[in-house]
Structure 1
């Protein structure tokens, strides 16, 4: 049988520009500095604005750039290490620490969560919303979906926000009273939805890392959390024994 050699694929223009821009970011710009507008950058590098946008989007995905409302495109600081699994087989932590409880509501979860919970498509579950902070800035938002069977003693949903936060704390404590058998976790790249983007001070569609965790009790899924992390500032770590302190670099 004869052999063939694949032709070397030419490097896309945007990828070459991304390399050139990376060198410029390292040598000409400081962290937090605003880049020139697209017209100026396209003229400087002699490329179409569509090519420039592709390169900028790639650098944003890699965490080198940030798009900020009312500011423009800035040079991003180093990513922070965020531990998403400090202790094996543990429930989501109680209120306090890095996570801030924002409240809760009763919702019909998305189809993907319905499948993980193995509930009826129109079943209503509790949804606790939390925000993770690092150095005073939001780095993640979370929705923790809890079927009524996992928290049967929690009161009905209140109308006011303060009571909603108290009820969210009751739901978290209800989970801690269950005997957790195990959990599994998946991470995928996604795009920020409007609500998450607002919480994280990002633009809708910005790249995010979505961490989905299932918690098992008595052979069933007792809860599912969907955590959305900023892909431009976060580097996820997976510790099994001791918590990893958030740190720069």
Structure 2
């Protein structure tokens, strides 16, 4: 590779570098190809490694690049579509739910979640962990927080732990009359547990979808679903929010 010097521009240098790198990805690299190391890239473009890292992080956020453990930074593959869900599906675990229940434990909810549920901060709730896979790729991890009052007839005799216990809790939740939901979306960083579930590095950009499920005159459950931000775009429709993986690229 030759040396490519950046022109003097009024915009931040990392942003201009992001544009130059994006063009290079389109013309010089194939999907899945590993990029040269940071030292070589910084030398090619005549920038400091800190500037290079900012540009790479921006391209990762836009879904152009992926950082993979033991591999390095690679060109991201085309995106595939995945819907967050529709209000018509009702409770988690209802027919049509695409999530896979994995585990259930009794634990304290985060303070914000406890406030939404209307439970005391020191009151344990059922926490169901779920995952979602599309095209063989993990795309989301979910924690559903359910207070004991939402599943009053639950017993631990037949399903004390594991996926069976998680499914039992969700089945019992579905017995409550569903009254609706609301949903919010915000950008966040992957925690250690979410990073492992999504095959990402801790701190990678994620989209956190918080859903409150209403039943029996109050909040019956709260879901905190973490989606890979490098592969997702949001669609707001009549049935709520959808997240899609798409082959479309953002304009440079």
Give the TM-score taking structure 2 as reference length. 0.87
SS of residue matched to 1:173: helix
Paired residues in the alignment total: 239
Q: Distance in 2 between matches of 1:171 and 1:245?
A: 26
SS of residue matched to 1:11: coil
User: 1:86: how far off?
Assistant: 2.7
Query: Which position in structure 2 is the counterpart of 1:216?
Result: 214
User: 1:99: how far off?
Assistant: 1.6
Q: Please, which moves more after superposition, 91-100 or 174-183?
A: 91-100
Query: Which position in structure 2 is the counterpart of 1:13?
Result: 13
- For the pair 1:126 / 2:126, whether they are aligned, the reply is yes
User: 1:154: how far off?
Assistant: 1.6
| Root mean square deviation of aligned Cα | 2.5
SS of residue matched to 2:170: helix
Query: Which position in structure 2 is the counterpart of 1:57?
Result: 57
1:180-229 deviation digits (Å, cap 9, x = unpaired): 11110000000000000001000000000000000011321000000000
User: 1:87: how far off?
Assistant: 3.9
Give the TM-score taking structure 1 as reference length. 0.88
User: Which gives a bigger RCO, structure 1 or 2 (Cα 8 Å, sep 6+)?
Assistant: 1
For residues 157 and 60 of structure 1, do their structure 2 counterparts lie closer, same or farther at Cα, with a shift above 3 Å needed?
farther
Preserved CA contact (<8 Å) 1:84 1:237? no
Preserved CA contact (<8 Å) 1:144 1:225? yes
User: 1:79: how far off?
Assistant: 2.6
User: 1:245: how far off?
Assistant: 11
Query: Which position in structure 1 is the counterpart of 2:29?
Result: 29
Query: Which position in structure 2 is the counterpart of 1:166?
Result: 164
1:89-113 deviation digits (Å, cap 9, x = unpaired): 6112348863211111001011121
Q: Distance in 2 between matches of 1:200 and 1:89?
A: 24
Q: Distance in 2 between matches of 1:199 and 1:68?
A: 13
Q: Distance in 2 between matches of 1:140 and 1:199?
A: 8
1:103-158 deviation digits (Å, cap 9, x = unpaired): 11001011121121121011100000000010111100000000000011222499
Q: Distance in 1 between matches of 2:33 and 2:83?
A: 28
User: 1:81: how far off?
Assistant: 2.4
Preserved CA contact (<8 Å) 1:84 1:238? no
Q: Distance in 1 between matches of 2:52 and 2:149?
A: 52
For 1:189-228, what aligned pairs fall within 5 Å after superposition? 189-228=187-226
SS of residue matched to 2:109: coil
Q: Structure 1: 5+ residue runs without aligned partners?
A: 1-8
Q: Distance in 2 between matches of 1:50 and 1:172?
A: 47
Q: Distance in 2 between matches of 1:226 and 1:16?
A: 35
Structure 1 segments (4+ residues) deviating >6 Å: 157-160, 244-247
Query: Which position in structure 1 is the counterpart of 2:179?
Result: 181
Query: Which position in structure 1 is the counterpart of 2:154?
Result: 154
User: 1:172: how far off?
Assistant: 0.8
